[in-house]
Amino acid sequence: MTYTLIFRSIIIYLLVLILLRIMGKRQLGEMQPFELVIMLIFADLATIPMAETALPLIHGIIPILTLSVMHYVLSYLSRKSLYMRKLINGKPKIIISPKGVEHSALKELNLNFSDVMEGIRGCGYFNLEEILYAIMQTNGTITVLPRSEYAPLTAMDLKIDKEKASLPIIVFAEGKILKENLQLAKIDTDFLNKKIESAGFKRLKDIMLITINTEGKMYIQPKDGEFVTIETEYKGDKNW
């Protein structure tokens, strides 16, 4: 019986894992209502045949597969048709407008003022007068557009030049050289070895993580001790 339970658990786990990969990645807070419903039912369906050996495993597998197909169909429809998207996902609702809090919208969404305050505090605002618009998105999150006088300053507002943003790529992690990323960055192992030596490390074995960005800045995190950043002559091909 124990073997049966072990193998049933493995089969269901792998099946759910594969199906979740097929369905695509979404964080819990970003799920649309129909996705959340499917996840909740999935959890329940997966556990019943896993533990109840009198039930064939197929009693869990078939509903899970059916729901995956349903999920794909609903996702496809909501992607292709605006009408279906509104029907399946609902539509964003303005809960704070320039006039203030929209009472009718709150009533429609079954929200109270505490929920609204919690939502806007989550966006970094604590006073209602700071907000021009607050919108309840279809996935249940509240997004806020502040009045311009309360909006955070940007480099553009201050008319200052900032260092260009640059995306680092991991080339060495947990004792392994990531060859694919090395090729992407168009550097080789010799280049890495030379740079870690120049940074004061003897061997790659002592290093936990190395990243390099498109501007040639290398971040070296040793297994023991503080991280080091070095500027290299490599200026990157901006391949990534």
Partner 1 sequence: MRRLIAIIIISISLIILATFEVVAVKKINTNLLKDVIYLEEITKQNEDNIVNISNEITQIKDNWDNIEPTLCLMFNHKDLSTVTDTLALIQAYVFNNDYDNAVAQVHLLKEYAEKNEHVMGFNLQNLL
Give me the residues that bind partner 1 (CB under 8 A), please: 22, 24, 53-56, 58-59, 62, 65-66, 68-69, 72
Nearer to partner 1, 71 or 195 (CB): 71
As measured in angstroms, the least distance from the Cβ of 178 to partner 1 is: 24
Q: Which two tokens stand for residue 97?
A: 């407008």
As measured in angstroms, the least distance from the Cβ of 53 to partner 1 is: 8
Nearer to partner 1, 5 or 22 (CB): 22
As measured in angstroms, the least distance from the Cβ of 79 to partner 1 is: 12
CA distance 74 to 71: 5
Non-local CB neighbours of 179 within 8 Å, separated by 6+ positions: none
As measured in angstroms, the least distance from the Cβ of 183 to partner 1 is: 24
Cα distances from 88 to residues 82, 85, 91, 159, in angstroms, run: 10, 5, 9, 44
E strand intervals along the chain: 93-97, 100-101, 131-136, 142-146, 169-173, 176-177, 207-212, 217-222, 228-231
As measured in angstroms, the least distance from the Cβ of 19 to partner 1 is: 9
Nearer to partner 1, 24 or 200 (CB): 24
DSSP state letters, 181-215:
HHHHHT--HHHHHHHHHHTT-S-GGGEEEEEE-TT
Nearer to partner 1, 41 or 145 (CB): 41
Nearer to partner 1, 64 or 171 (CB): 64
